[in-house]
């Protein structure tokens, strides 16, 4: 199979971590008989330096012409003083809008080798943490009308049935590729928008009889994530709730350096990136953890390319890396062997082979 991947190395540690992810993809391609073609795309601070624009139309077009996009990280102190509409992060917003991605999918998984890094007590962690939050990305209160008149401010929360249905189907499809359990999170005891959310979710559930659907109020979900995260497989929710819950979930796993994410829309073409930033303080020092980016590449294989076996191979190779006692600086602990970014990638590739 041949796939065309747009590669945004970005800023800070972005080029280093993306290089390791690409090398892992090349290893997978060699072993499983695929061809991955890469198109380099400038976005973020590097694009500002080169073009005076965080994402020129010509660079966006490269992404739209690809089968999926792999992103490292953008931004850094160097560009703090540029006008707000030209900041590196604006390139990311423009990319999401241009690609039409409306679903942000962020896994919360604790690797058993890193269980001690979780702030949760051992009896909770030992039950397992492995779920995905599917967050609606371009609607809700963040995109509604914002208005301040005198001493009163209002923010409008709006969802249509079609917006709920399309994110709901992403949730069901994601659950189908996992353990077939979907939890719909809302605030239907208070909000009309949530009552509509619940109605639509139950209507489309009929199209997914193999997926078990449950409902949970958002405040209870926030408690359950720290009380018993093992109960969750896939959580689907609206924009603001998903923003808050995914940040909460990232903390119980112990390290943001290990967490990938994807943004998806109506097509299989997705945007894949680690959740961490560009970390300019360690850029070029071979100290970055590339695992979040490598796992983002694995998500691309699984969710955009339907290459589940190949994605499993990458995840198993990372588990073997941790089993052998190797750690990058951000996840280092006593008795382990610290390795840099390049060596981390080399070991993971060797484990795949």
* Residue 221: band (very low, low, confident or very high) from pLDDT cuts 50, 70, 90: very high
Q: What is the 3-state secondary structure (H, E, C) of 181-195?
A: EEEEEECCCCCHHHH
pLDDT score recorded for residue 119: 94
| CATH fold group of domain 1-105+256-353 | Isopropylmalate Dehydrogenase (3.40.718)
CA separation, residue 107 to residues 23, 74, 132, 236, 286 (Å)? 23, 21, 4, 12, 26
Quick check: is 181 catalytic?
Answer: no
Over range 269-282, report the average pLDDT: 95
Please state, in angstroms and rounded to a whole number, the distance separating the CA atoms of residues 103 and 136. 5
Whether the predicted pLDDT of 343 surpasses 90: yes
Active-site position among 65, 126, 155, 247: 247
Catalytic status, residue 142: yes
* pLDDT score, position 255: 82
Instruction: Clarify whether 243 is annotated catalytic.
Output: yes
Q: Where are the domains of the chain?
A: 1-105+256-353, 119-252
Name the active-site residue from 30, 155, 219, 323.
219
Average pLDDT in the 21-39 region? 98
Is the model's pLDDT at 295 over the cut of 90? yes
Using the predicted structure, report yes or no on whether residue 93 has a pLDDT greater than 90.
no
Question: Per the residue annotation, which of 26, 32, 130, 142 is the catalytic one?
Answer: 142
Q: Could you give the strand order of the β-sheet that contains 181-186, starting from the edge strand earlier in sequence? A: 35-41, 2-10, 68-73, 271-274, 260-264, 103-109, 130-136, 234-237, 181-186, 212-217
Mean pLDDT value of segment 92-99: 91
pLDDT reading at 267 higher than 90? no
Residue 198: the pLDDT is: 98
Q: What is the pLDDT of residue 64?
A: 97
> What are the pLDDT digits (tens) for 104-148?
999 999 999 999 889 999 999 999 999 999 999 989 998 899 999
Q: What's the pLDDT at 83?
A: 87
pTM exceeds 0.85: yes
> Smallest Cα–Cα separation from 70: which of 43, 109, 94, 108?
43
The residues, any chain, with a CB within 8 Å of residue 185's CB and separated by 6 or more, are 215, 216, 217, 218, 221, 235, 236, 237, 241, 245
* Whole-number pLDDT of residue 109: 92
Q: Confidence class of residue 337 from pLDDT cuts 50, 70 and 90?
A: very high
Q: Is the domain covering 119-252 a CATH 3.40.718.10 domain?
A: yes
* 151 is an active site residue: no
pLDDT higher than threshold 90 for residue 81: no
Q: Is 208 noted as a catalytic residue in this protein? A: no
> 1-105+256-353 and 119-252: same fold?
yes
* Catalytic residue of the set 11, 42, 243, 330: 243
Report residue 85's pLDDT band, with 50, 70 and 90 as the boundaries.
confident
pLDDT of 68 higher than 90: yes
Q: What is the pLDDT of residue 86?
A: 87
Q: What is the mean pLDDT of the chain?
A: 96
Q: Is a pLDDT exceeding 90 seen at residue 61? A: yes
Q: Report how far apart, in Å, the C-alpha atoms of 264 and of each of 7, 102, 188, 269 are.
A: 16, 6, 26, 7
The yes-or-no verdict on residue 209 having pLDDT over 90 is: yes
What's the average model confidence in pLDDT over 29-52?
A: 97
- Asked if pLDDT for residue 84 goes beyond 90, the answer is no
326-327 vs 103-109, strand pairing mode: unpaired
The one catalytic residue among 3, 90, 109, 187: 187
Model confidence at 97, in pLDDT bands (50, 70, 90)? Answer: confident
Which among 254, 297, 328 has a CA at the least distance from the CA of 20?
Answer: 297
What local confidence, expressed as pLDDT, does residue 268 receive? Answer: 87
């Amino acid at each position: 199979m041949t796939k065309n991947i747009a590669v945004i190395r970005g800023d800070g540690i972005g080029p280093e971590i993306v290089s390791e992810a690409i090398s892992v993809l090349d290893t997978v391609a060699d072993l499983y008989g695929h061809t991955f073609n890469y198109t380099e795309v400038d976005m973020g601070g590097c694009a500002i330096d080169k073009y005076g624009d965080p994402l020129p139309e010509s660079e966006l077009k490269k992404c739209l012409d690809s089968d999926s996009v792999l992103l490292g990280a953008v931004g850094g102190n160097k560009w703090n003083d540029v006008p707000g509409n030209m900041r590196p992060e604006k390139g990311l917003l423009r990319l999401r809008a241009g690609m039409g991605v409306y679903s942000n999918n962020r896994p919360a998984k604790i690797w058993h080798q890193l269980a001690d890094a979780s702030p949760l007590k051992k009896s909770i962690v030992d039950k397992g943490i492995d779920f995905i939050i599917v967050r609606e990305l371009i609607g809700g209160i963040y995109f509604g009308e914002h208005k301040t008149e005198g001493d009163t401010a209002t923010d409008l929360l709006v969802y249509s049935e079609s917006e709920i249905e399309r994110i709901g189907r992403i949730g069901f499809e994601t659950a189908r590729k996992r353990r077939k359990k979907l939890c719909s999170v809302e605030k239907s005891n208070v909000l009309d928008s949530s009552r509509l959310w619940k109605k639509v979710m139950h209507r489309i559930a009929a199209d997914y009889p193999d997926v078990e659907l449950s409902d949970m109020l958002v405040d209870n979900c926030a408690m359950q994530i720290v009380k018993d995260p093992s109960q969750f497989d896939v959580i689907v929710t609206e924009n603001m709730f998903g923003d808050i819950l995914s940040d909460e979930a990232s903390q119980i796993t112990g390290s943001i350096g290990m967490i990938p994410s994807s943004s998806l829309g109506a097509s299989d073409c997705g945007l894949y990136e680690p959740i961490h930033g560009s970390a300019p303080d360690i850029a070029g020092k071979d100290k970055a953890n590339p695992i979040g980016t490598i796992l983002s590449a694995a998500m691309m294989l699984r969710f955009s390319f339907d290459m589940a076996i190949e994605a499993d191979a990458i995840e198993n190779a990372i588990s073997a890396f941790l089993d052998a006692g190797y750690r990058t600086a951000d996840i280092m602990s006593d008795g382990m062997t610290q390795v840099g970014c390049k060596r981390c990638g080399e070991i993971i590739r060797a484990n795949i082979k």
